[in-house]
Chains A and B, each alone.
Chain A
Amino acid sequence: MSAAIKTLLAASALVMATATLVHAASEDDYKAAYAAAEAANKQAGSLRNQWTTTASTLAAAKKAGDAGDYEAAVAQAREAEALAKASIFQATSEKERWKDMEVR
């Protein structure tokens, strides 16, 4: 193996290791993602329109976080935040849209 190839392989390994370090979720990432999801779900609650799937996804995030699997915990928390935001959108758009369905 030539010196150039060895250097290239070593550099690639270094880049991959750095990339892994950059993308590995930390406990702080999990806590931030969970707090954002919880806040969105609380807003859905104030609109009286929480979804059961948001609650179960938040619970899954917490379970993964408690087990130290921050990668999974962040993914679940972000999913929960997306669900909560969808329920907020639904509640807001239905403020007027319900009238379209009325029997007249």
Chain B
Amino acid sequence: MTWRFAIRAAITTLALGVLALAPAAHAADSIDPAADKAAFQKFFASKFPKLKLEDFVNGPYSMNEDLHKQWEEKEQFPPYEFSLEAGKEMFATPFKNGKTYADCFPNKGIGIRQNYPYFDEKEGKVVTLELALNRCREANGEAPFSYVKDDMAALTAYMAFTSRGKPMDIKIPNDPRALEAYQKGKEYFYTRRGQLNFSCATCHIQSPGERIRAEVLAPALGILNAMPIYRSEWSGMGTTSRRFTTCNSQIRGVPLNPQDDEYRNLEYYLSYVSNGLPISGPGARP
């Protein structure tokens, strides 16, 4: 009888313990972007205690001294310079109807990169800078650009350059749809996919600074602040859309279409948790 009583007591204690832990297990169900951002930034600050928060925007170049030296040398003749010049010229060139990109954006498009993406309450969706640029073109009778490179990369390079040093400043309005978009972006970031069974977090949370073959993985914190980037691996410029789609195919997942809702939400989440870190784009990466 004593043994039976002891077993019953143990089962009851275990059950109560599980119940007590239940709220913690469901913490991810409550949407609290401010708490997420604090935890996210604290995680990286603890993992790399020697780095200042603003240094994370240099991606793999922030991860060790040798790479940092490479970056300093690269910045003397940056490989994105041609794209930046092209973007500046494109930005100022009027469309056939005489209007320009400046007519589509607040502050004539100068120094506003840090506010993108934003949640458009009319549309009920996230609007990225790339999407806003193509919408601007279409509203003025021009054909949209490819989202992944060349012209789009040049335009966003110029706009990022005009915002260099400004802290990322993504707003999440008090609108359940905005919170849902943010949460879906977070879910996408942590969800394993592709035959290799990797999530974005597998590389950019669990393994920043580690090598994957010859490459040094970038930290997720500040990863979009440097966009668009010139990548030696691509031998050219690439946008945020290019970064997302190639990440998916590298883990043997079929990429979605650039600017599908999932990618827009992912950009919203990743940008928000990097709020306060400076815009450093356009960037260069190995």
- Residues of A in contact with B (beta carbons under 8 Å apart): 48-53, 55, 83, 86-87, 90-91, 94, 97-99, 101-104
Q: Is B126 an interface residue (CB 8 A)?
A: no
Interchain CB contact (< 8 A) of A53 among B27, B40, B195, B202:
B195
Cα-based distance from A94 to B187 in the complex (angstroms): 9
Q: In whole Å, how far is A34's beta carbon from the nearest beta carbon of chain B?
A: 18
Interchain CB contact (< 8 A) of B192 among A48, A98, A102, A104:
A98
Interface centre among B39, B187, B205, B254 (most CB of A within 10 A): B254
Q: Which residue of B has the minimal Cβ distance to A103? A: B43
Q: Which residue of A has the minimal Cβ distance to B35? A: A104
- Residues of B in contact with A (beta carbons under 8 Å apart): 27-29, 36, 39-40, 43, 186-187, 190-195, 197, 199, 201-202, 205, 249, 252-254, 256, 262
Q: In whole Å, how far is B273's beta carbon from the nearest beta carbon of chain A?
A: 9
Cα-based distance from A48 to B205 in the complex (angstroms): 23
In the complex, the answer to whether A49 meets B193 with C-beta atoms within 8 Å is yes
In the complex, the answer to whether A50 meets B190 with C-beta atoms within 8 Å is no
In the complex, the answer to whether B39 meets A104 with C-beta atoms within 8 Å is yes
In the complex, the answer to whether B191 meets A51 with C-beta atoms within 8 Å is no
In the complex, the answer to whether A48 meets B252 with C-beta atoms within 8 Å is no
Known: A98-B199, A102-B186. A53 touches B252 (CB 8 A): yes
In the complex, the answer to whether A103 meets B40 with C-beta atoms within 8 Å is yes
Q: Which residue of A has the minimal Cβ distance to B253? A: A51
In the complex, the answer to whether B195 meets A102 with C-beta atoms within 8 Å is no
- In the complex, chain B residues whose CB is within 8 Å of the CB of A94: 191-193
Interface centre among A49, A55, A103 (most CB of B within 10 A): A103
- In the complex, chain A residues whose CB is within 8 Å of the CB of B43: 103
Q: In whole Å, how far is B39's beta carbon from the nearest beta carbon of chain A?
A: 5
- In the complex, chain A residues whose CB is within 8 Å of the CB of B27: 104
Q: Which residue of A has the minimal Cβ distance to B28? A: A99
In the complex, the answer to whether A83 meets B192 with C-beta atoms within 8 Å is no
Interface centre among B29, B194, B249 (most CB of A within 10 A): B194
In the complex, the answer to whether A83 meets B195 with C-beta atoms within 8 Å is yes
In the complex, the answer to whether B254 meets A50 with C-beta atoms within 8 Å is yes
- In the complex, chain A residues whose CB is within 8 Å of the CB of B40: 103
Interchain CB contact (< 8 A) of B199 among A48, A51, A86, A101:
A101
- In the complex, chain A residues whose CB is within 8 Å of the CB of B253: 49-52
Cα-based distance from A63 to B187 in the complex (angstroms): 37
Interchain CB contact (< 8 A) of B193 among A55, A83, A90, A104:
A90
Q: In whole Å, how far is A52's beta carbon from the nearest beta carbon of chain B?
A: 5
Q: Which residue of A has the minimal Cβ distance to B248? A: A52
Cα-based distance from A87 to B248 in the complex (angstroms): 14
- In the complex, chain A residues whose CB is within 8 Å of the CB of B36: 103
Cα-based distance from A94 to B194 in the complex (angstroms): 12
In the complex, the answer to whether A102 meets B28 with C-beta atoms within 8 Å is yes
